[in-house]
């Protein structure tokens, strides 16, 4: 039941952001977490969902990662974090954040009201 709820919510998403951190422990965690497994599976089989892969540090060897991550890296590439964690490097105007925004889908238009505006008659 929980997996179905997770799956339904993930299907509503248009992007999946995966952040790769330098510790190899995180790759083992990815193998054991059902939410991430469902999200990666949906991203691989669902055309509407694209993946944004972010590397906090340059990953030299992808062979230690799950095959799904290797495939995503090959298919979509990765965005490299090139700053530190200071306030200035987290500014929305940096090149990194511009690249992330470029990979995001366009904003959805606000839902239109199903009711017609009232017309005044004189």
User: Which neighbouring-strand residues pair with 19?
Assistant: 54
User: Which neighbouring-strand residues pair with 17?
Assistant: 52
* Active site annotation includes 8: no
Picking from 50, 49, 54, the residue whose alpha carbon sits closest to that of residue 83 is: 54
Where do runs of H (alpha helix) occur along 33-122?
34-45, 67-76, 95-103
- The count of C-alpha atoms lying within 13 angstroms of the C-alpha of 96, restricted to the half-sphere facing its C-beta, is 17
Where do runs of H (alpha helix) occur along the chain?
2-11, 25-32, 34-45, 67-76, 95-103
Residue of 35, 36, 55, 57 with catalytic role: 35
- Catalytic positions are 35
């Amino acid at each position: 039941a929980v997996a179905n709820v997770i799956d339904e919510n993930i299907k509503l998403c248009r992007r999946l952001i995966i952040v790769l951190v330098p510790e190899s422990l995180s790759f083992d965690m990815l193998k054991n977490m059902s939410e991430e497994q469902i999200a990666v599976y949906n991203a691989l089989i669902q055309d509407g969902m694209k993946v944004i892969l972010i590397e906090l540090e340059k990953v030299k060897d992808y062979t230690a990662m799950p095959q799904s991550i290797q495939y995503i890296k090959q298919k979509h590439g990765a965005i490299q974090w090139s700053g530190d964690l200071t306030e200035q490097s987290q500014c929305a105007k940096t090149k990194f954040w511009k690249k992330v925004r470029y990979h995001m889908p366009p904003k959805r238009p606000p839902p239109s009201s199903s009711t017609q505006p009232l017309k005044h008659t004189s």
